[in-house]
Chains A and B, each alone.
Chain A
Amino acid sequence: QKEVEQDPGPLSVPEGAIVSLNCTYSNSAFQYFMWYRQYSRKGPELLMYTYSSGNKEDGRFTAQVDKSSKYISLFIRDSQPSDSATYLCAMKDQGGSEKLVFGKGMKLTVNP
């Protein structure tokens, strides 16, 4: 079992839809959870950063962490064509490791 599992999609939705992206993980030591957005031929851009469990909201984006289920989510409200990109979840533990463990990335297309 991989440390981080993410459905690679692709996912196609109409403009204005609510998008839900998810990752599951197996390492209970993970404490920090991130979502990155990567446009084609570009480097990943940090979208959301969450420590431990709970929700975090930033504009149209909401990140949720459920540590009891080892499950994290990213919700995008009122999705726009400009949201079309690959979304990668990433996480790391609190043990001092600097390395991030990434999901495979989910390719999202928002159709106008």
Chain B
Amino acid sequence: GAVVSQHPSRVICKSGTSVKIECRSLDFQATTMFWYRQFPKKSLMLMATSNEGSKATYEQGVEKDKFLINHASLTLSTLTVTSAHPEDSSFYICSARAITSGKGDTQYFGPGTRLTVL
């Protein structure tokens, strides 16, 4: 149980274009999802917390107009990187909050999306 998927797994785009990444909880409903960014050989950096039906809460230093988050249903959250630039190239990972037997209330992660902006 508690499986999270992400799509696409890899995307290459030109500078100035927008890219949408989807995060889905496959076998559970997630009122809360999270978006992280991970640089090579670094830990996870939380970008924002996404709650179903309400506006996302962004971490300090994360541009909300650049990283648009929508959590329209209990199983889907999307991250749109607008007007992408090469410095936005990174590994983006989503997670969904779930309460499971034996594992308590914690986060389950998707497989990640590798974004490369040319």
Contact = CB atoms under 8 A, between A and B. Distances in A.
B61 interface: no
A44 B32 contact: no
A88 B95 CA distance: 15
Contacts of A46: 2, 103, 106-109
Contacts of B41: 107
Interface in A54-112: 88, 98-100, 102-105, 107
Q: How large is the interface on B (under 10, 10 to 19, 20 to 34, 35 or more residues)?
A: 20 to 34
A102 B105 contact: no
B114 A49 contact: no
B43 A43 contact: no
Given A41-B91, A41-B114, A100 B43 contact: no
Interface string A24-68: 000000001010100001111110010100000000000000000
Contact of B105 (A32, A88, A99, A104): A32
B32 A98 contact: yes
A43 B110 contact: yes
Contact of A88 (B2, B44, B91, B102): B44
8 closest A-B pairs by CB:
A43-B109, A49-B103, A43-B112, A44-B109, A43-B111, A104-B43, A43-B93, A49-B104
